[in-house]
Amino acid sequence: MQSPYPDLRTIEGAQSHIPRYLFRYWRSKGSIPGHTSECNTPDSITPKLLLPNSSTFSSDFFSYTKTQLGAWAMSHMSQDGNRSIISEGSDDGGGSDGGDGPDDDPMTPYSTWSQSLAYVIAWALDARKRFPADETDAHVCILDTTKVDNVILHSEDIEIYISDLVTKDRWQYLAFGVISGAGYEAVKVDALMREGLGSFWTRRHPIDDNSAHPTPNISLGIQQTLVKTATAVAQRFTTDHQLAVAANLMAIGDKSDNELEAIAHELHKIFVTPASWRQNQSLVWYYLTLHGVTEARQAVEIMRKIMVFTDNHGILETPLTDGRSERYLQREEREFKEEIQRRNADRGAISPWPESMADYVRYVYPPKSPETGHGA
**Distances in Å between the alpha carbon of 279 and those of 266, 282, 305, 307?**
23, 9, 16, 12
pLDDT tens-digit readout, 139-171: 999 999 999 999 999 999 999 999 988 888 888
Question: What angle, 0 to 180 degrees and rounded to 10, lies between the N-to-C axes of helices 294-311 and 117-130?
Answer: 130
Residue closest to 176 by CA, chosen among 275, 18, 50: 50
* Interval 233-264: pLDDT, tens: 999 999 999 999 999 999 988 888 888 899 99
More confident position, 34 or 243: 243
| pLDDT score, position 353 | 40
CB 251 within 8 A of CB 295: yes
Distance CA 33, CA 43 (A): 23
pLDDT digits (tens, 9 = 90+) for 321-345: 444 445 555 555 565 556 556 555 5
- Mean pLDDT along residues 347-374: 45
Instruction: Check pLDDT > 80 for residue 95.
Output: no
- DSSP assignment string, 216-267: E-----S-HHHHHHHHHHHTTS-HHHHHHHHHHHHT-S---HHHHHHHHHHH
**What's the first-to-final CA gap in the chain, in angstroms?**
55
Q: Answer whether 222's CB lies under 8 Å from 262's CB.
A: yes
Please provide the size of the chain in residues: 376
Domain ranges of the chain: 11-58+65-187
Residues 173 and 143 sit within 8 Å (Cβ to Cβ) = no
